[in-house]
Structure 1
Amino acid sequence: MSIPREEQKVETFHNVVIGIGDIGGIGSLDAHKIEPATPPTVVSPAIPTRLKYEKPNCAVCNEVGDGLHFGAEACRACTAFFRRSVALNKKYECRAGGNCEVASNIRCICRSCRFDKCINVGMNPECVQNRRDTLDSGKDEPMAKSPRLSDIIMKPIAQFNSPQMSQLSTPSTSLLDFSVFKDPSTSNFSAFSPASLPGLSSSPSLETMPLLERMRINYEKMENARSVIHRREGENIFQQKVPRPINFRQATECTTKEVSLVADWVEWCFDDFGSLPVNQKTILFQNFFIYFCMLERAFMTVKSGKDGICVMASKDYIDYNNLEGFFEGCGSGTSGTPADIAKLCRLIRPSFDLQKRSLINLMRIENVDNYEFFALCVMLFWDFGLEGQSDACNEVGRRVKHRVTREMTFYLRNVKKHEEPLYRMASVVSILPSLQRAVRRFQEDIEMASIFNIYALPANFYNIVNGKFT
């Protein structure tokens, strides 16, 4: 039986990255059906009419808007029209060549042009339930199932087929749970959760923030996979992990295992990514991976509430105050004496100091939350003007970044109640230059280690760091 062309593309891209590590990705985890949830409208009694007029007009018909729906500002009428059209798989045809005007007083004249405009302004059909329960059916009907990426990317790896994995499909902890770092006697740090943030009026949903919420849901899925992939020998994955300091060899192994996990996360988050040619997917991912690793480590380090460490994806950490222990046993050839290790620490310490000074400290000052972290990931992944990147790929990335900007504006204004959401967005984006400096310094250190054979680098690690893995 022949494989559809689109499935061949996805599988081919995954084969590009799957050979880097010795494990599979998150595609083998069973993904439950994600349906959008419309949060209840909350209007403060003290200002009964003000909020209505502060909302932008509908991007489709220019009527008074009702907030962000399915990825775009829309009124209730256009929201209902779009939901109904997608859910019922309606097919419309324009009798005027597709050039009809869509305005509030004539929006019902041509449904074809109205639906096309919904798509053009950013409304996402993926955020609409495939089928709603029928009121007169007397019983629930099963939802139509969309193909899962796990079915087309790779075969499930053996350790994800165990019955215990079903218990991991619904996390019992919040996203990025760092309570494992909490010392009850010396710290009042608690796990970070969006619901615990001050000023939140309602929880974001797939309808109001489809892209960012989809990234959050799939990130939790990746975290579940990490609890299996990075577990130590003899460790029970159902017990709370106790973080420990790791050495250079263990840190490089952790990074190598992350390649396939992050590749799957990207595939799950961006529908636009799946439509790209394999060579364009490879260009984007090779450029993104090391930046994501460095950004995520800084983010997790800040949320851990600890100083002097760098938290890895495995939740173990590099102890900046004991670099001698970090580099012990990683020497090349006959090196590895205390004098060699001391020389190595003097060489590498400025790189760690730069990460702490310019990246970790800045993220701590800005107090970046989960959704802001995901927005930074979008900006990093959909980079513009990379070597070999096509104009079509650049255009796709530009549209995705515009989409996440709209969602962040909604989130900052309506959820976190920032008085100056654009100022806050500028503050968060200002982290990217610091990230770039930290990554470049790290790449220079690895380059020097490779040229002068300062310490033993695992196979492929040099290429992963420099975005040259194939």
Structure 2
Amino acid sequence: MSSILCGVCEQTSDSFNFGALSCNACAAFFRRVIASNRIPKVQCDRKCDLTSRILRRLCSNFRYQKCLKIGMDSKMVKSGKPEEPSILEELKQSYRNPEELRRQTFKNDGQSKLVFFFEEMNNLCRIDINLIMDTLMKTFTRLSSPMQNNQHRCLISNFLGPFIIVDQCFLSVDSEFTILADGNYVYTRDLHEHFQSSNQGDSKAAETSLFLAPYWKQRRNIMGRTFKELKMDVSEFLVFCALIYWDFGLHEQSDECIEIRLERRSRILKELKLSEQSLRSENDASLRIGQIMLALQMVQKSVSMMEEYKTISIIYDLCAKHCPLFQMSEGGL
């Protein structure tokens, strides 16, 4: 049985969108044009080959005209479909799930303790990554559909390492310690106790402390300070996480993935704008959104540092080379 093709770009069609057969990427493009109330300017002779990913991204006007020609209806964008559910509300509900699972899994009972052995934190990270995959990541994956599985994996591998970092910073915003997922903590100003080993014969522990102390210091000064200054609420934090997840410029990211990412980022930022405007004046809301967006640069710096210290750990055969955060950082931001 032959595939049904999109009437705009001739890629495999997903379904009827706004009255015409099209792929998800072209449907998202049409929705954005209508929502912006600005028709793209003519920049060609309207004979571009829209089967080319490059040309259809560059020639917006011809792509828009082709959408109209195959029967896409702007009225269906504005009123023909029910209002889309709030991404932010779905993420808030999903974020409650790992919080509850953490309480059930780690059974801390409010009795926090200093983590003495780095193996404890490594094991904790492995468990927590599985909890996140079963909760928050399922929501992100559903919100990013339809998308090929390899593209979902691309977004997930890029997201998990940075998420663990920012989640720890969010949990630690009112503390001088780094609070972990199980409620226990690491005192990063003095790592001598933390970088011990449960194996008394492990001579690498002290060496690991020497090499990785600067990493913890810089992470505290960069990400920790940023979060303490911003004091994000849960809504702002989850928008921040969503912007990390729907990142751009990733290796082997498909055109379809880029289109979906753009549409999701646009929606979540609009929801953040409405949320901030309900709490602040228009100018203060704009300033707050700008501060949150600028903080994304700090995540990039933290991930770059993680990559550098992962390399050091491998070269010097440090025990930290087995840290799940180092392993997850391979996706980059």
Asked if these proteins are the same fold (TM beyond 0.5), I'd say yes
> Which residue of 76, 84, 94 maps to 1:115?
76
User: Deviation at 1:409?
Assistant: 0.8
Q: Does the C-alpha gap of structure 1 residues 118 and 350 become closer, same or farther in structure 2, counting only changes over 3 Å?
A: farther
8 A Cα contact 1:332 1:454, kept in partner: no
- The match for 1:279 is 150
Letter in 2 for 1:465: S
> Which residue of 104, 116, 121 maps to 1:228?
104
* 2:92 pairs with 1:219: no
User: Deviation at 1:467?
Assistant: 3.4
- The match for 1:242 is 111
User: Deviation at 1:413?
Assistant: 0.6
Greater CA radius of gyration, 1 or 2? 1
Q: Does the C-alpha gap of structure 1 residues 322 and 420 become closer, same or farther in structure 2, counting only changes over 3 Å?
A: closer
* Aligned 1:5-20 pairs, distance under 5 A: none
- The match for 1:258 is 128
CA shift digits 1:94-132 (9 cap, x unpaired): xx97466xxxxxxxxxxxx63343478x931xx3xxxxx
- The match for 1:397 is 261
Within 2, Cα distance between the matches of 1:331 and 1:438? 30
User: Deviation at 1:59?
Assistant: 5.9
User: Deviation at 1:406?
Assistant: 0.6
Number of matched residues?
266
- The match for 2:219 is 355
User: Deviation at 1:331?
Assistant: 7.5
Q: Does the C-alpha gap of structure 1 residues 286 and 331 become closer, same or farther in structure 2, counting only changes over 3 Å?
A: farther
* 2:251 pairs with 1:364: no
TM-score, with structure 1 as normaliser: 0.52
User: Deviation at 1:287?
Assistant: 0.7
Q: Does the C-alpha gap of structure 1 residues 436 and 333 become closer, same or farther in structure 2, counting only changes over 3 Å?
A: farther
* Aligned 1:130-279 pairs, distance under 5 A: 210-231=86-107, 240-246=109-115, 247-264=117-134, 265-269=136-140, 271-279=142-150
- The match for 1:82 is none
CA shift digits 1:50-91 (9 cap, x unpaired): xxxxxxxx9699xxxxxxxxxxxxxxxxxxxxxxxxxxxxxx
Q: Does the C-alpha gap of structure 1 residues 333 and 391 become closer, same or farther in structure 2, counting only changes over 3 Å?
A: farther
Within 1, Cα distance between the matches of 2:194 and 2:270? 43
Q: Does the C-alpha gap of structure 1 residues 221 and 448 become closer, same or farther in structure 2, counting only changes over 3 Å?
A: same
Within 2, Cα distance between the matches of 1:211 and 1:278? 21
Note the aligned Cα RMSD (angstroms).
2.9
TM-score, with structure 2 as normaliser: 0.71
* Aligned 1:249-328 pairs, distance under 5 A: 249-264=119-134, 265-269=136-140, 271-302=142-173, 305-307=174-176, 309-328=177-196
8 A Cα contact 2:306 2:326, kept in partner: no
Within 1, Cα distance between the matches of 2:258 and 2:70? 29
Name the one with the larger helix percent: 2
- The match for 2:62 is none
User: Deviation at 1:293?
Assistant: 0.7
CA shift digits 1:244-278 (9 cap, x unpaired): 12131111111112222222312224533242111
> Which residue of 229, 232, 240 maps to 1:376?
240
> Which residue of 264, 267, 288 maps to 1:424?
288
* Aligned 1:451-466 pairs, distance under 5 A: 451-455=315-319, 457-458=321-322, 462-466=326-330
Q: Does the C-alpha gap of structure 1 residues 285 and 269 become closer, same or farther in structure 2, counting only changes over 3 Å?
A: closer
Within 1, Cα distance between the matches of 2:250 and 2:147? 15
Letter in 2 for 1:123: E
Within 1, Cα distance between the matches of 2:99 and 2:199? 32
User: Deviation at 1:459?
Assistant: 8.2
Within 2, Cα distance between the matches of 1:439 and 1:413? 31
Q: Percent identity?
A: 19
Within 2, Cα distance between the matches of 1:447 and 1:330? 24
Within 2, Cα distance between the matches of 1:334 and 1:346? 15
Q: Does the C-alpha gap of structure 1 residues 449 and 422 become closer, same or farther in structure 2, counting only changes over 3 Å?
A: same
User: Deviation at 1:375?
Assistant: 0.8
Letter in 2 for 1:252: N
- The match for 1:11 is none
CA shift digits 1:148-205 (9 cap, x unpaired): xxxxxxxxxxxxxxxxxxxxxxxxxxxxxxxxxxxxxxxxxxxxxxxxxxxxxxxxxx
Within 1, Cα distance between the matches of 2:124 and 2:276? 34
Within 2, Cα distance between the matches of 1:359 and 1:441? 11
